[in-house]
Amino acid sequence: MSIIIQDLSKTYPNGTQALRHVSLHIPTGMFGLLGANGAGKSSLMRTLATLQEPDSGSILFNGLDVLKHKQRMRQLLGYLPQEFGVYPGISAERLLHHFAALKGITRVKERQEQVKFLLHQTNLYEVRHKAVSGYSGGMRRRFGIAQALLGNPQLLIVDEPTAGLDPAERVRFLNLLSQLGENATVILSTHIVEDIAELCSNLAIMAQGQVLLTGQPQQLMNQLAGKIWMVEIPRDRLPCYQQKFQVISHKFYLGQLRLHIYSNDALTADFTPVQPDLEDVYFCAIAGLLGNQLVMSERSK
Amino acid sequence: MNTFLEVLRFELTEQLRSRSFYFYVLVCFGLSFGSINLLAGAFSDVQVAIEKVNSPYAVLVGLTALSAIALLVAAGIFSQSVCKDFEAKTADMIFSLPIQPRSLFIGRWVAATIATIWILLSLGTGYAIGEHMPWLDRENLLPFNSAGYIYVYCYFILPNLLIFSGFYFSVGLMTRRTLLVYLTGVILFIGGGILSHIFNQWTAVATSVDATGATALAHITQFWTSTQRETQLPPLTIEFLINRVLWISLSVGFISWTLYTFSIAPKFSRSTKLMGRSPQVKDLQLSLVPVHQSFDPLLQWRYVASQSWVEFQSIAGNRWFIVGLLLATLPPLLIAGSSVGLVYQTPLYPLTHLLVDQSGGLYTQLFKLLLIFLAGDMIWRDRSAQIHQLTDVLPIRNFVPLLSKYVALALIILSTLGMVMVSCLLVQTLAGFTQYEFSVYFILLFTKALPELLILAALSFFIQVAIQNLYLGYLITALLLFIVPQTAAFLKFPNILIYGNTPAAPYSQFDGFGTALTPLRAFQGYWSSWAVLLLSIAFLLWQRGEDKTWRSRLKVAIHRWNRSLRYFLIAILTTMMVMGGWIYYNTRILNPIVSERQVEISRVNYEQMFQKIGTAQPQVQDIQLRYELYPQQRRLQATGRYELQNQTKQPIQQVLINLNLDNAAQINRMALGSITQPSMNQILYISPDLPVAVRAFRLPQPLLPGEITTLDFELTWQPKRGFSEFQQSYGLTTNGTSLDGILPTISYELEAELTEPEQRSHYGLSPRPQLKTLADQLQLGDRLPPQPLVTWTVTVGTSKEQTAVVPGLLQREWREGDRHYFEYRMKQPVMFKMPLYSARYEVRRQQWQNLPIEIYYLKGHEFNVNRLIRATQASLEYYTQNFSPTPFGQVRIFELPREQYAVSLPGTIGFAEYIGFLAKVDQRNPNSIDYPSYVTAHEVAHQWWGHQLVPNLRLIGARTMNEMLSQYSALMVMEKLYGEHTIHKILEHELEGYFLERSSTPEEQPLVSSDADHVVYRKGAVAMYALKQTLGEDTLNQALAQYLQEHSITSPSAPPLPTILDLLQAIKDVTPSDRRFLISDWLENMIIYDAQAIQATAVKRSNGRYEVTFTASLQKFQTDKKGNETPIDLNPQETVEIGILGENDQWLYRQSHHLTSGENTIAIAVTQLPKQIGIDLSHHLLNRSFKNIRVTPLIVPEQIRT
């Protein structure tokens, strides 16, 4: 159940290069996609979801040429977009039935069972007769997840899935996803670094249409071991430190600025070495300090 | 397939669950139910149509019209079904499913079609059930016939649904914007209607361009009589079928193309630049930049200005909108402008007010529809873009969004009117016409049309704000703007109750708008205050935020109701009541309108009080009169004396005097002999707005036969106080005074009696003798006296720059102070008809053999003056040569404002501006006819037929004599001026006029007993010309001249009264016996023909000759009063002309043939190439297929034939 993306490129009519020679190998399991807005995550997801045609490149899903056989792909996939609307005045149950039927679940009994199961899974069973257009933001997102899961898809693409969920819902949802990840490929695109750290066996970091970094979370974090340092400074000293050091991130913390600094060499005692987390990996990748090229060159050294 | 079925099932279920679906069904049912009841007289006694309103044809027409509403609703249904994924943002979810997008859309289309079919069926159901309602008078209805229903659904409603839905669907899929789908509907409907109106003469184009098929239908049935409409359904002609096939193919093609090219990729409009790459996020300096915020209340008005501009640009900047609007206004105006006011295929000069009126006529519906759709689009924009969640939180006052949208809409209307003005200016310039009259443009477009549209826009806005559903809002506004005003006007509601209605303000270059602007402004003020009221309520109900329920909206409204609003509304309501009160005062109290019932009662009283007296009345013999006219004050005074003689055989005790009370006529003094007080005084209403004062004076001693007495009177006329809500009267005006029938008459008017037998018995009156024929009338003898023949001497004083005139020879002319005086004298006794004209005239003088010819015209209207002179000269020449010497030593023609008629009096002709002075005659266009000359010749002819030959106008056939003979004379003059070819063109127009007007006449009479315009003018012209062909010009003219000599009032001995029957005899006397049947056919019976050319071939022989084989069909019909046709055989002596025209339209062959009924094949040899072959090309038959009388032959070379 793996996806092989080769050299995917896409430029929009107004000149924006959304994807630039993107190549990825996504095995079965949870795959995280991390990146800023406009990095190309959504474009990639939409292309995988057969909603967009790339300019060049190929995608193979278990050997199936996705771009050539879109219809077949749609039979296997579930997609939860980042932003979506619903038809006004239709209940969750009816809309889910409609989508299920369109997904090819023609046997009424099977459909009923699947819809019932998913409504329970997403905690919408109590309100299944109410119109989806009247749901709160979180409920609407849960509905989106439910419809994506119809038909037990082999590839599940979820774009910002936990946005708008309260902590309990988030945990439930992530559990559900990881259960699915046992037998299917789940591509999870998010800003919430913790979600990826906790769940994903592989990840990719994208920026400006390119893949900056791929790998396993733990491995990547290990690569930074001993290279991340922390210091707390007053706010106005920031420019000074930025000049002297490789500041990869700064945060406000109790009135002071807390800086994370990347340094191959040891630093003075003011600086505290920290265990690198995925966020540090992300910032380093963005800064160009970590990358597939870099990783390669590190290995070859 | 699976996708298709599932989508179909889902969509249909949704439709059946939606409340709006049932609402539409209910509305359509209600509309059709209401319509049929309205037409059948359930709500009023108004007679709407002359035939039964549930005949298959009437059902066809009614349901086709009603289906327009349903198609409008359908636009909403289809656009919703196709755009829903894009508007509800479910596109990503749906299209990532394993479905075929094409199946999805076809499923949606089928579902929407099925839903719309249900709605359309409710139309027919409402109509059918409405027909059967027990409260309807079965007399007005035919037995139920399903044929009409089946026909209209099969050929109109369902095909139209197919056509329109295809376009709606495709446009929706392509553009994904609801507004554009509605605009498509508007363009198909209105655009088709406008174009087919403009291309009216080119049948093929006109019928093809109208997607609804209505024009094709109209063309098939345009000449149908009421009997045909009651019994038949239109046959399916080729043009109609072509229309259906063409449009269905276009629609299906369009859908196919859109589906084929559909891609789910989002639409990138060039204006939206996606932010692909986020800019490098520099490290944020987190110090906030200080800003000042100002919350000055006056700023809110600046926001209104800037927001209005934004809203305006969002619509006006949309290139589809601009293109659509330009296409809709410019080309039609340019085409139509060159043919404004067509009469006999000749347009009028493109005067400013004519062009503006024409655009109004073309575009009223379009503008109203625009208002409806734009209002909805603008009000819902923020919500549909979901931006309201941002904008509703901004610190702007509640009135800002509503007001800015309204101002933006006003700007759009303003620009559109500006475009109309530019188009009209363009038309004028291209025609080389430079009388631009900018003030008229300004007043008509920007102070009349603009406020009216703004008032309607306020209603449109109000509905959209109040109703939470865009499509429902569209439907209700459409109902309020289209259906309700029509129905209310039909039920004779006053203007004050029909939202937005204002009185008309016709313009003339004589006196501008006359007095029409005052009532116009009054109504505008009244309705503006209503508009402001509606906008204020809209403001209170304006939705800000998410609360949608009525309870929450009312709470918010109450919260918004503050003190300044209260004062504001008090001011508005006060204005409304003041204006409304003033209007009511003027229209109902100052000038009360009487009801039909009161009219009836006054007529009954008239008969009961005066009939006995009226049997013997003296005749006016001589009039001495002095008029003082003050045009600037619109005031007229008259002091006069009649000399009356008892010309009956009985003594007369009481004299009956009538005075038309129009123009606020007042009798200051009236004395008969020495009697100054009338014994009886009554007001008679001929119709609700025509009161007549009737007085009877009792003489102390009866007036013996032959005795003379006098009537002295002093009368004043002045502007009516106040205004009426309908057309203002223009008789007394500052320039172009035109008054007729204002002097007292001495008679008992038989016509004032009630005629309907049921009415008479209701009031206890004995039945009237039936006066169906001339013979019946002649039996009444003295009760129908002829008009008196009168002499007069009249002095008229008018203001110094004007010329005043009454019929008669000018004796002297002088000035006194700032007054200008004329004295006229009519020495020989003529019919008592003495109009008074006065205006600032220019004059051109000419002669014909020492007889003065004078044309008095308004400065700037010189275009056709020389034409009129030339026509007068030619007419005088022909008539004096062929009929008799001219009796009234002059011909003076006076231009009158505004109308489209001409009236001929002895020596003087009143000639309205639109019937000849403003015609733009194009000599180079063979199809355009110089009708100014035609009308002039006709009016000059009346100097013979009507003023020398003076029949009793109360007798049947009198009008026929006057008009038929004048038409004939005018035709002969036109033939001398322009040749035979022009005559054929004129006859074609007369034939068209005849058949068209006949179709709207309930009962038809033969020429000898008809009074109807289309018979005496149109049929009369064709008849006389045909008779001339048969008898020969000289023979006919001699007969007429002889008849005239025997009956003319100028003959020394007392002439017998001319009647139509003895004129008929005079003509028969000079007709050979084998042709006498023609006189009967034309004049005594109602005979029509159907003569058509079917096909022709011409074989070219080696000797250069052509052998033509021509097939034509011919059928003669006898018709009865109702228009039922019975085929009859041709008279054995009857011949029909077959003609062949060559390449230069010259006659290659022209012979009369004896043909048989049915198909005839004729073989003719000609020496040159035949271009056209036809039957009855010269229009000697009353042929209803006069448009299909010619064919182009198929030229066959000789070899192929053998």
| C-beta contacts of B250-256 below 8 A and 24+ residues apart | B250/B163, B250/B166, B251/B162, B251/B163, B251/B164, B251/B165, B251/B166, B251/B167, B251/B170, B252/B162, B252/B166, B254/B166, B254/B167, B254/B170, B255/B109, B255/B166, B255/B169, B255/B170
Residues 120 to 149 of A: which have CB under 8 A from any B CB? 144, 147
User: Which pair of tokens denotes residue B156?
Assistant: 């109109």
Residues in chain B with pLDDT values less than 70: 45-50, 264-293, 727, 782-783, 1199-1202
Count of A-B CB contacts under 8 Å: 90
Q: Please name which of B1151, B1190, B1194, B1188 lies closest in space to residue B1169, comparing C-alpha atoms.
A: B1194
Closest CA to B203 of B163, B243, B232: B243
| A105-114, A117-126, B185-194, B969-978, range with greatest mean pLDDT | B969-978
Contact call for residues A185 and A26 (beta carbons, < 8 A): yes
CB B1070 within 8 A of CB B1050: no
The conformation of residue B264, written as its DSSP 8-state character, comes to: -
Residue for token pair 């139920």? B144
What is the per-residue pLDDT across B564-607, written as a single tens digit (0 to 9) for each? 889 999 999 999 999 999 999 988 888 777 888 899 999 999 99
C-alpha count within 13 angstroms, C-beta hemisphere, residue B1154: 5
For residue A91, give the DSSP letter: B
Look up residue B704 and give its two tokens.
Answer: 């013996």
The Cα A248–Cα A264 span in angstroms is 13
Q: Which residue type occupies B965? A: L
Residues contacting residue B1133 through CB under 8 Å, at least 6 positions apart:
B1074, B1075, B1077
What's the pLDDT score for residue B46? 62
Measured between CB atoms, does A255 come within 8 Å of chain B? no
As given in the structure block, the two tokens for residue B1063 are 């004129």
Distance from CA of B77 to the nearest CA of A (A): 15
Residue B1034: how many CB atoms within 10 A of its CB? 10
Q: Can you spell out the DSSP letters for B723-773?
A: --SSPPP-SS-SS-EEE-S-S-EE---GGGS---HHHHHHTTPPPPPP--S
Helix axes B101-131, B158-175, angle to 10 degrees: 140
Chain B contacts to A (CB-CB under 8 A): 2-3, 6-7, 10, 14, 18, 84, 88-90, 92-100, 264-265, 268, 273-278, 283, 286
Whether B96 and A87 lie within 8 Å, measured CB to CB = no
Contact B99 A102 (CB under 8 A): yes
Give me the residue from A13, A38, A83 closest to B277, CB to CB.
A38
**C-alpha to C-alpha distance for B409 and B374, rounded to whole angstroms:** 8
CB contact under 8 A, B7 and A104: no
Q: With contact defined as beta carbons under 8 Å apart, do B867 and B918 qualify?
A: no
Helix (H) or strand (E) holding B24: helix B19-39
DSSP code, position B675: B
Residue B1005 Ramachandran class (φ > 0 left, ψ -120 to 50 alpha, else beta): beta
Residue with tokens 């800086």, as numbered in its chain = A259
Q: Which residue of A has its CA nearest to B9?
A: A98
Residues 6+ apart with CB under 8 A from B838: B629, B631, B737, B796, B798, B802, B803, B804, B805
Q: What is the DSSP letter of B545?
A: S
Chain B CB contacts of A144 under 8 Å are 93
Angle at B801 between CA B795 and CA B803, to 5 degrees: 40
DSSP type of residue B278: P
* Residue found by looking up tokens 């669907």 in the block: B169
Angle made by CA atoms B1030, B1035, B1036, in degrees to the nearest 5: 70
Residue type, B181: V
Please tell me which of the candidates A38, A72, A106 has its beta carbon nearest to residue B276: A38
Write phi, then psi, for B344 (nearest 5 degrees). Answer: 50, 45
Q: Of B109, B348, B62, which Cα lies nearest the Cα of B214? A: B62
Neighbouring residues of B1094: CB distance < 8 A, sequence distance ≥ 6: B1111, B1112, B1113, B1159, B1191
Rg over CA atoms, chain A: 22
CA atoms within 13 A on the CB side of B154: 9
B1101-1135 b/e (C-beta count within 10 Å ≥ 16 → b): eeeeebbbbbbbbbbbbebeeebebeeeebbeebe
Are the beta carbons of B196 and B207 closer than 8 angstroms? yes
How far, rounded to the nearest angstrom, does the alpha carbon of residue B948 sit from its chain's CA centroid?
Answer: 36
Chain A residues closer than 8 Å to B88 by CB = 85-88
Q: Which residues of B touch A84 (CB under 8 A)?
A: 89-90, 92-93
Measured distance between the N- and C-terminal CA atoms of chain A, rounded to whole angstroms: 34
- Identity of the residue in A37, A77, A242 whose CB atom sits nearest the CB atom of B96: A77
Q: N- to C-terminal Cα distance for chain B?
A: 60
pLDDT the model gives residue B458: 96
- Distance (Å, whole) CA B76 – CA A262: 61
Query: Which residues are CB-neighbours of B887 under 8 A, at least 6 positions away?
Result: B828, B906, B943, B947, B948, B1050
According to DSSP, residue B10 is labeled H
Residues in chain B: 1202
Distance CA A200, CA A188 (A): 8
Q: Which residues of A touch B6 (CB under 8 A)?
A: 98, 101-102
Residue written as token pair 């009219």: B599
Average pLDDT, whole number, for chain A? 85
Question: Which amino acid would we find at residue B189?
Answer: F
Q: Which residues of A touch B90 (CB under 8 A)?
A: 84-87
**What is the chain B residue with the closest CA to A85?**
B89
Best probe of the B interface among A19, A77, A98, by most B CBs < 10 A, is A98
Measure A3 CA to nearest chain B CA, in Å: 18
Determine, for residues B89 and A103 on separate chains, whether the beta-carbon distance falls below 8 Å: no
- CB-nearest to A75 from B98, B100, B286 is B98
Residues of B in contact with A104 (CB under 8 A): 2, 98
- Mean pLDDT score, A32-54: 86
Q: State how far residue B12 is from chain A, nearest Cα, in angstroms.
A: 13
Helix (H, G, I), strand (E, B) or coil at B1191: strand
pLDDT of residue A32 exceeding 50, the answer is yes
- Total length of chain A: 301
Cα B175 to chain centroid distance, Å, stands at: 38
Which residues of A, range 17-46, sit inside 8 Å of B by Cβ?
17-18, 36-38, 46
Q: Is the dihedral of CA B615, B1052, B960, B1017 positive or negative?
A: negative
B89: chain A residues, CB-CB within 8 Å: 83-85
Which residue from B261, B377, B257 is spatially nearest to B312, judged by alpha carbons? B377
CA dist B616 and B653 (Å) reads 9
Residue of B nearest to A11 (CA): B276
CB < 8 Å to A52, chain B: 265
